[in-house]
Amino acid sequence: MKKKQTYTVLAVDDNLLNLRLIEKSLSKEGYRIFIADNGPKAREIAFGEKPDLILLDIEMPGETGFDVIEKLKDSSETNAIPVIFLTGVIDVDSKLRGFDLGAVDYITKPFHPLEVLARVRIHLKLSIATNSLIADQASRLRQITEAQVAMLPTPEDNPQAKFGVYYRALEEAGGDFYDILNISDHITGYFVADFAGHDIKTSYMTASVKALLAQNCTPVYSPLESIRMINDVLVEILSEGKYLTACYMHLNRTTRKLTIINAGHPPVVCLPVDGEPFLIKSDGDILGMFKDPHFGSETIDVTPGDKFFIYSDGLVESAENKITWASGADSLLPVYKKISQTSYSMAPEELINLLFGKGATPEDDIVVLCVEV
């Protein structure tokens, strides 16, 4: 049989008669009642039992109802519980203060049990509806996130690309994006981008950019031509204020040539098989903003075993420490040296652990690709 839904109410009042009246009138209607005659005890029950609603007296000795609600609303564990004040005070200033602190309603003393029951029902219905709406929206956002992540290629599905990846979106609609393009048996394209903004529209743009990459990153076009064509389309379809920084890396394993196209993105890090890590800096305009942009372009000779790192600015930037990628990229070169012997598949994860520590939360979305020639 389906489990019955029991709603819980915490009644707080220093008057024992009021508590018993509330307990009797609500319990016979099927509610589970907790009672407290002071603020500290009320908070202890609220944190321990997480009641569905709280009836809270304002005028209590020691810790007042205002004190109690302020502390409850300061905690993520209890701030969503609706609070109805019980009060013999009817002045407007007290009511306004209560609403400012987060109360949903007032019941004036002396109260009638039927009025208490009616208001409890109303606000539980509102709470249920609100929680249902929040759960529905969260579910929809999770679906968007899952769809966005599902579009990202995995190393397991692209073994010939020889890459490892770390990807983390702090919000449901992440602004960072990457793609792997199998242009031919021996030519692979690697693309990392960072959209301006993290709204829902951004997640839909990911699919558009992925389609543009597939259409334009082919043997027919040079890497620079591919990015220019993609930019021309993005200028037409992106709304005002929307753009992305990007880096496109085109690796030909037969000719051992690597071409890097930079569109306002942090520099690529090269970790040679024999040598010190260094930055490949090539300034360029952002994607989707200008009709006649300048993109940085660099072609270098590579050796089997060389590793290259493409990443979003969340790896190096810190608003808290006032570090931009322009100033922060160079400072990380010693960290890359520490992972010179790490496999390309594990290098992104190891890099993140060294920079942020295991379990730490970065300030922004992060994507890191490590590619081995």
The three-class DSSP label of residue 182 is: strand
Show which of 108, 142, 176 is a domain's final residue: 142
| 1 in a structural domain | no
Output the pLDDT for position 199: 53
| 253 in a structural domain | yes
261 and 204: one domain?
yes
Task: Give the separation between CA 162 and CA 166, rounded to whole angstroms.
Answer: 14
Output the pLDDT for position 359: 63
Mean pLDDT, the chain cut into blocks of 10 residues (373 residues total): 75 93 93 94 94 94 93 91 87 85 91 92 89 64 52 86 87 72 94 74 71 90 94 84 89 96 94 93 89 92 96 73 62 90 94 80 78 96
**327 closest CA partner among 336, 339, 338, 318:** 318
| 3 in a structural domain | no
159 and 289: one domain?
yes
210 and 298: one domain?
yes
Task: Give the separation between CA 271 and CA 3, rounded to whole angstroms.
Answer: 60
162 and 138: one domain?
no
| 123 in a structural domain | yes
| 105 in a structural domain | yes
119 and 157: one domain?
no
| 129 in a structural domain | yes
Task: Give the separation between CA 125 and CA 119, rounded to whole angstroms.
Answer: 10
Task: Give the separation between CA 96 and CA 222, rounded to whole angstroms.
Answer: 66
Task: Give the separation between CA 138 and CA 240, rounded to whole angstroms.
Answer: 28
17 and 78: one domain?
yes
Task: Give the separation between CA 30 and CA 71, rounded to whole angstroms.
Answer: 29
Output the pLDDT for position 244: 87
Contact call for residues 268 and 310 (beta carbons, < 8 A): yes
CATH number reported for the structural domain that contains residue 45 in this entry: 3.40.50.2300
341 and 298: one domain?
yes
| H-helix or E-strand spanning residue 127 | helix 113-150
164 and 96: one domain?
no
**First-last CA distance in the chain:** 61
| 2 in a structural domain | no
191 and 327: one domain?
yes
Task: Give the separation between CA 42 and CA 63, rounded to whole angstroms.
Answer: 10
| H-helix or E-strand spanning residue 117 | helix 113-150
Output the pLDDT for position 253: 95
Pairing of strands 8-12, 32-36: parallel
CATH number reported for the structural domain that contains residue 355 in this entry: 3.60.40.10
| DSSP-derived secondary structure for 311-366 | E-GGGT-BTTTTB-HHHHTGGGHHHHHHTTTS-TTTHHHHHHHHHH-TT---SS-E
Name every residue whose Cβ is closer than 8 Å to that of residue 186 and which is 6 or more positions away in sequence.
252, 253, 254
253 and 368: one domain?
yes
Domain that holds residue 236: 151-372
124 and 269: one domain?
no
Contact call for residues 347 and 335 (beta carbons, < 8 A): no
209 and 272: one domain?
yes
Show which of 114, 142, 170 is a domain's final residue: 142
Burial level of 85, CB count in 10 A (0-12/13-18/19+)?
buried
Contact call for residues 366 and 166 (beta carbons, < 8 A): yes
| 257 in a structural domain | yes
Q: Which two tokens stand for residue 220?
A: 């027919």
Pairing of strands 83-87, 53-57: parallel
Show which of 142, 176, 192 is a domain's final residue: 142
Pairing of strands 53-57, 32-36: unpaired
Report the number of distinct structural domains present in the chain.
2
